Each structure stands twice: as C-alpha cells, then as structure tokens.
Amino acid sequence: MLSLMELMTVKEGFGALVMGNHALARAMAEAGTAVVTSYPGSPTTEIAEALQAPPENSRPCHFEFAVNEKVALELAAGASVNGHASAVFFKSVGLNVAADSLVQLALMELMGGMVVILGDDPGANSSQNEQDNRWFARMAYIPVFEPASPAEIYVMYKEAAALARQRRAPVFLRLTTHVCHAREKVQFGALPDQPAWVPRFKSENGPYVPIAASVFPLKQRALEKLEAWSDYGEKSAVNSVFKASVPGAKRLGAIAAGLPALCLLEAVRAAGAPVDLLKLGMTYPLPARLLSEFMRSHDEVYILEELDRVMETELKALAYDRGLGCRIHSRRGSAELMGEMTPERARAALAVPWPSLFPSMSRTVHPEPAHRTPQMCPGCGHRSAFHAVKKNLPPGAITVGDIGCHSLGFLRPYNMGEILFSMGHSVSTASGLALNNSSRKVVAFVGDSTFFHAGLPGVVNAAARNSDITLILLDNGTTAMTGHQSRPGNGEIGERLSLAEILKSLGVAFLRECDAYDQAKLGVCLKEATEHKGFAVIIARHPCMLKFMREKRRSNPAAKKQRVAVDHKKCIWHYICAAEFACPSFVRDPDGFITVNPELCIGDGSCIQTCPEQAIAINKEPEFYIKPLSEEGGEDGF
C-alpha cells in the first residue's frame, strides 16, 4: 500500500488507489503550487495530512495552518500577489470567516493564481448547517470547478491552478464530503523540478487598494475575466455529454454536476432509461451556449443538484431568455433541498416526471440502527469540567456553547450550552444575554483553539466593558476536534503564550486557573466567579487525553494499559458514573451491575471522585502519571 510520504515524494508517474483529499495534495505538488494554507475542518483535513507527510525540508510546497480561515486566505492571497502559485482550503462554514477578504479577490491581479478549495457538507455530516457555497461564487465573481470523484479532483485542480495563474485570478474548487473521502484509482503524473519562485509584487500590477475611485474599473475587469471563463467552459472537456444507450419516444435529458451527476448516471444506466446526461465540471459561470444547445435538442430536461436551487434557477432563466421550448423538471418540496444525493434519491427524483422509465423497485427493509449519542472520548477533561459545572451552576443560569469538542456538552446528561451560532461567538452572545438581566447568571464556554480563532475580539469587548458574565476557557492544548493540529501558543509552532497573561493584559480582573480533573476546585472557582459582579474567567486546563495517550504509547509501545475497576461490594447503584458523569467506558449490565469496558477505559481516574461510595479505583499502578496543574509549574503547556 502506498504511504503518504511516497504519494508526495515519488518523482515519476504512477497509479494508486487514493482518497480524494490525498489525490488533491499530489495534484498540488504536480501543479507546482508554492504556498498552501488552511484552517482545519472536515471534510478537507486529510489534504494537510498528505502535505505534511514528508519532512518539512523536503515538502513540495510551503504549508501552514493559520489561526483561522480569514488569515489562511489572506496568507495565500499575499503569496499569490507576490507571484507564487497558491491555494487555501477549509470546510464549508469556514468560508464565512474568510468572506471579508474573499469578496475582493476577483478584483485583484493575483500574479501567481490562487485556488480556493471548499469542503461543502451536504447532509451536515460534521457541520452546523448545509451551507451551499455556490452562492459565494456569484457574489464574488469567482469561477467554480466541481469534481465528482478523486480522479476528477486531481485533473480539475491542475487545470484550475494553471488557468488561475494564466489569468491571474482566484478559482473555486468545490468539493463535497463524499467526494473528499471517496477512494478511486488515480493515474498520477511526474513531479516537476521545483521552480525558483521569484517575488513579483509590483504596485503597478494593481491597483490593490479598492477605494471608491477604483471600484468600477476593478469590477469591470472582474466581469471581463468572468466572460473569459464562460468562453472556456463552452469548449472545455470538464463539461461533457453522456448519451443514452437506447433511443426513446421522447428526447429526454438531464443536467447535473459533481456527485449528483454520478448518482444520476448510475440511476439512468441501472434503469436502462433513454436519458442523456450533460455533466458539468465547471458550474460557474455556466456555459450558456452548450446548455442552450442541449436543452434545445431535448423535449424534456431534468435538473438535479444537491442543496439549493442554484443551477435550476439560472437554467430556467436561460431557457426563458432564449425562448427554449423544452420542458424543465426539477426537485419538488423542501425535503428535496436537504441531505446528500444518492443513486436511490436520483432514481426517485427522475421517477416523478418519468414513472414508466423508473418504476418502483422492491427494496429490502432493514431495521433502523440503534441510536448512538456522540460522546466525548474516555478521559476527556471537558467531561470532568461539565460534571463539576453542572453541580455548581446557580439556579436558572444560562449556558452558552461554542464550536469544538466541548460542543458535545449540549447533549445529555450535561446539557451545557443552550445557544450556539459559530466559532468564537460565545463571549459576545453571552454578553448580550447579560444586558438588562439581573435575575439569571450567564456562563459561556470556549476552547483554547477557538479562543485564538475568533474568540479574542469578544473577550476584548467583554473585558473592556466588564460584561457581567462568567467565561470557562477549556484548555486542552491543541485543536482537538479536527485531529490535533497545532494551535498558536502551545509551543508546537512559535513561542508558548500564556492564556492567563493574555487575559490579564486585556484587563480581566477576576481570573482563576485549575485542572479540569479537579472537580472540587473547579466547583469553588465557579461559585466565586458567578458571585463576582463583572467579567470573570476560569481557565479549566487538561491535555487532550486522546493525543496524550497516543504520544505516550508511541514513546513506550510496551507499556501496560491501566484501567479502573468497580468494586461491586461497595457499589450500591447510584449510577452517577454511567448516567451523570457518563464516561462511555462504564457499562450498565442487564443485571444492574456496572462494569468497565476494557477497550475504552484509559485508566485516567477522573471518574474516581464522582462515586459517593468510593467504589471506583485504579486496578493497576499508573504507567503514565499526569501531573495536576499545581505540580506542573508551567503555563498553558502540558
């Protein structure tokens, strides 16, 4: 099996079965991309996994995780303005964070070209919504490529990067979750010799300052470039027609892009239906002539897409403007605007206008799988913190959540975080909830990585105005939810930064620190904080135990695993360990006894203090002793 190191460093061409994200990383290397930036988020995180596989001095490009998506996009844009071919990638909602600068890109001359890779998430597999970022392309005048498979990701990235450099422009490469994570055999080319990139920034290449006097000339140039992209789409092989294998009584066609096109093609071929497919690889600007000819040559056309009616709306307008007589079918009802496309859904959609071609198929009905609530990992410091906080919250307190592993605190049994908008919102939203509110205390949560990503402005505002809220800063030393990427200040990149010192420098007067495992101390800190009038911050610190244990086991593979055990002579079935602390390692057996799943328990012992009967104990000497904060003597590092 090909390793990621080999994928990124083998000089000659080869074929390999790869994930879409990994195919994209190789395409970046083959395209001569000099600078790649990102903020981690599913479904695009594995791109970085491949880029970082070789040692830093032998990587094909400069790669870095930025503090947030806006910074990542601006780093890539700055490199491109200076003549370096660049790319940036992040998840769907990450584009919201980057949007302030994104909408200026098409107005600028990006000398090295720039590919903006979006990981959209139909079905909200790992996102808080199903945001359809094709709308941003229309607003920002940026062309869109939409690959449907890993092989197409590879081909389209190289095409997009070359054209972006040639046209000194930004380009969207829009991926979706299952395209990112699908696997396919891809035939790769050779790696080029790395060029010596020469800085090319000259202010006369601009203007690069979109003030009122330059807005209209810049916009005119962006619109002219968009026209050129439209001409390219008319002739490009990324847009292609798949003819039906059998003729029909009527000339029937379908139009789709990306994964929906493959689902539609599978449904048509399985049914043996006489439906031609126009598969679009470039979906903005739409190739008007190609589409008009396709619709004119068919009596009826079905438009299939995921999420919003973006392409459907534009094609109906095109048909109206050009007086095309074909009948246009599309999805019906709000339910069809949600979720991922599948071949089954595509077949059901086509069966609405053409039932005789797509008759109902008998299906085996399988029982629904048991509901499984998402869980924080065994040993997670957030679980210990939420358990302590819940026991010590003032009556009627409002809790405000944020994005990160601790978002799971919203679920039972913790029920922490009744409101969640976006990354870093918690402090600002909590401050708003506290206005004209003397009867209910407001407690906000934020993680350390999110604190740096987007939380700092809200903290600055709350500190300056002394907002009457309590903030619990859950510090696990990493960007845990997306795979333990480094965060600023943890010492993995740059110098260590003390969260406490940062908060003090902002004028935070009430500040407490404790280990998240020390539930008694955290309870005392929370009581003091909620009684304080004004802005109060508690830093509840404990390393991400998933990362911690992996690193310890790598350094000492022969180490024995410790576990906790339940003494059934002492246990009188309070079930606090399983029902309130809710570590997934605890199992309530049919006979009522509590046992410990040895495959899940890491023996961290954070559960011991939760049992009023002291029936939980470590059953082996600890192999990895985790020092509490008071013994560390350090700041914000583990």
d(CA 561, CA 432): 47
- What number is the average pLDDT over the span 585-596? 94
Q: Is the pLDDT of residue 631 over 50?
A: no
What pLDDT, on the 0 to 100 scale, is given for residue 635? 54
Q: Is the pLDDT of residue 23 over 50?
A: yes
Nearest to 253 by CA among 274, 280, 275, 269: 275
Could you say which DSSP state residue 492 is in? S
CB hemisphere CA count around 545 (13 angstroms): 23
In CATH terms, is domain 561-618 a member of 3.30.70.20?
yes
Give CA 126 to chain center in angstroms: 7
**Total residue length of the chain:** 638
- What number is the average pLDDT over the span 281-299? 96
Token code pair at residue 3 = 């390793």
- pLDDT tens digits, residue range 489-534? 777 777 888 999 999 999 999 999 999 999 999 999 999 999 999 9
pLDDT-derived band at 637 (thresholds 50, 70, 90) equals low
- What number is the average pLDDT over the span 91-101? 95
- Lowest model confidence (mean pLDDT) among 313-317, 599-603, 627-631: 627-631
Domain residue extents for the chain: 4-195+213-235, 240-351, 381-548, 561-618
Please, what CATH class does the domain formed by 240-351 belong to? alpha beta
pLDDT-derived band at 626 (thresholds 50, 70, 90) equals very low
Q: Is the pLDDT of residue 632 over 60?
A: no
Q: Which helix (H) or strand (E) segment is 135 a member of?
A: helix 134-140
Instruction: Read off the pTM.
Output: 0.90
Which has more pLDDT, 466 or 1?
466
- pLDDT tens digits, residue range 369-398? 888 888 899 999 999 999 999 999 999 999
| Burial of 441: CB neighbours in 10 Å, binned 0-12, 13-18, 19+ | buried
Q: How far is CA 424 from CA 146, 227, 572, in A?
A: 30, 39, 43
Q: Is the pLDDT of residue 281 over 90?
A: yes
Q: What percent of the chain has pLDDT over 70?
A: 97
d(CA 123, CA 307): 9
240-351 shares its CATH topology with 381-548: yes
pLDDT-derived band at 484 (thresholds 50, 70, 90) equals confident
d(CA 137, CA 144): 7
Q: How many C-beta atoms surround the C-beta of residue 557 within 10 A? A: 7
Give 216-283 as a DSSP string.
Answer: HHHHHHHHHHHHHHHHHHHH-TTSEEE--SS--SS-EEEEEEHHHHHHHHHHHHHHT--EEEEEESEE
- What number is the average pLDDT over the span 84-100? 96
Q: Which helix (H) or strand (E) segment is 95 a member of?
A: helix 94-105
What pLDDT, on the 0 to 100 scale, is given for residue 638? 56
Mean of the per-residue pLDDT values for the chain? 92
- What number is the average pLDDT over the span 563-576? 94
568 in Cβ contact with 593 (< 8 Å): yes
What pLDDT, on the 0 to 100 scale, is given for residue 128? 85
Q: Is the pLDDT of residue 293 over 90?
A: yes
- pLDDT tens digits, residue range 210-235? 888 888 999 999 999 999 999 999 99
Q: Is the pLDDT of residue 244 over 80?
A: yes
CB hemisphere CA count around 192 (13 angstroms): 13
d(CA 255, CA 428): 44
Q: Is the pLDDT of residue 362 over 80?
A: no
114 in Cβ contact with 87 (< 8 Å): yes
Q: How far is CA 259 from CA 137, 175, 264, 578, in A?
A: 19, 9, 9, 42
What pLDDT, on the 0 to 100 scale, is given for residue 46? 95
- What number is the average pLDDT over the span 141-149? 97
Superfamily of domain 4-195+213-235: Thiamin diphosphate (ThDP)-binding fold, Pyr/PP domains (3.40.50.970)
d(CA 259, CA 532): 54
- Mode of pairing for the β-strands spanning 398-400 and 594-596: unpaired
Q: How many C-beta atoms surround the C-beta of residue 135 within 10 A? A: 12
Q: Is the pLDDT of residue 576 over 50?
A: yes
- What number is the average pLDDT over the span 548-558? 87
Omega of the bond leading into 557 within 30 degrees of 0 (cis): no
Please, what CATH class does the domain formed by 381-548 belong to? alpha beta
Q: How many C-beta atoms surround the C-beta of residue 592 within 10 A? A: 9
Q: Is the pLDDT of residue 247 over 60?
A: yes
Give 34-93 as a DSSP string.
Answer: -EEEE---TTSHHHHHHHTSS-GGG-SSEEEE-SSHHHHHHHHHHHHHTT--EEEEEETT
